[in-house]
Structure 1
Amino acid sequence: MRLIGNVLWFILGGLVMGLAWWLVGVVAFITIVGIPWGRACFVMGNFSFFPFGKEAINRKELTTRGDIGTSGFGMLGNIIWFLLAGFWLAVGHVFSAIACFITIIGIPFAIQHLKLAGIALFPIGNTVVSKEVARAARAANAQAQVNTLRQR
């Protein structure tokens, strides 16, 4: 089912938005200063090409360790990103979602566009993994929190 969803997605809009992510990534790389944002653009662009069966997750939630992208610098980077490119990529995903919502069969694609619009606003500190890995990471974090609460 994921394969069919990804193929239909790619043909009916994923290609355009994935290329938009890559275009922003190329511009970011050209500026040299924007390389961290460009890297995130290519990761999210690949995700935008074939999103079904994958999920964006915060790296701190995944690895239980912080890094520069999940720190205050990452927040600052996300603010700069939002002002320069994130808003416009999110608008593109929202318009794509509206176009998909018009047809009943396109509703699952519209929902995916809205998820990608949210990611487009603040992508720094996130990574893309399979849904199973994201689910396992969240379950492990929840279990660790339960163990911590039981020890009190």
Structure 2
Amino acid sequence: MRLIGNIIWLVLGGFFMGLAWWLAALLCAITIVGIPWAVAAFRIGTFSFWPFGQRVVDKPEGAVAAGLSTIGNLIWAIFFGWWLALGHLVSAVLCAITIIGIPFALQHIKLAALSFFPYGKQIVPIVD
């Protein structure tokens, strides 16, 4: 069932949003300073291509790392997060028009929220 969901997801906006995440990662990687954001964006872009069967969780961190994640997320949201979130929200609205697209719209909304706070997250497989 996950395979079918992921294939339909690619058609309903997942492919284009995955490319958008990878574009953001590429733009971050151009500068040396942006490499940590590029790594996070590439990881979430890969998740955006094939989200069903995986989930996003917070990384276990110490107090210093949590503070750095907050600063990293703020910088990310200013430069890239808002337009990725906008792309996911537009995709969610287009998916929600049909009944079969509602689960995919919900996934786009989750990814829109993740667009603002990607730093300090990790992707883990869902174990049945």
- Shorter-chain-normalised TM-score: which range? over 0.9
What does residue 104 of structure 1 align with? Answer: 99
CA RMSD of aligned residues (A): 1.5
Equivalences for 1:27-46 in 2 at 5 Å? 27-46=27-46
Which protein is richer in helix relative to its size? 1
Pair member with larger Rg: 1
Deviations 1:1-39 (Å, cap 9, x if unpaired)?
101000111122111000000000000000111000000
User: Does residue 66 of the first structure (1) align with residue 62 of the second (2)?
Assistant: yes
Output the CA distance in 1 between the equivalents of 2:83 and 2:31.
19
Output the CA distance in 1 between the equivalents of 2:58 and 2:63.
11
Aligned length: 128
Deviations 1:80-130 (Å, cap 9, x if unpaired)?
001110111011000000000011110010000000001111100001001
Normalised by the size of structure 1, how large is the TM-score? 0.80
What does residue 87 of structure 2 align with? Answer: 92
- Percent identity between the two aligned chains: 52
Mind listing any 5+ residue stretches in structure 2 that lack a counterpart? none
Mind listing any 5+ residue stretches in structure 1 that lack a counterpart? 134-152
Residue number among 117, 120, 129 corresponding to 2:124 in the alignment: 129
- Higher relative contact order, chain-length normalized (CA < 8 Å, sep 6+): 2
Runs of 4+ in 1 over 4 A off after TM superposition: none
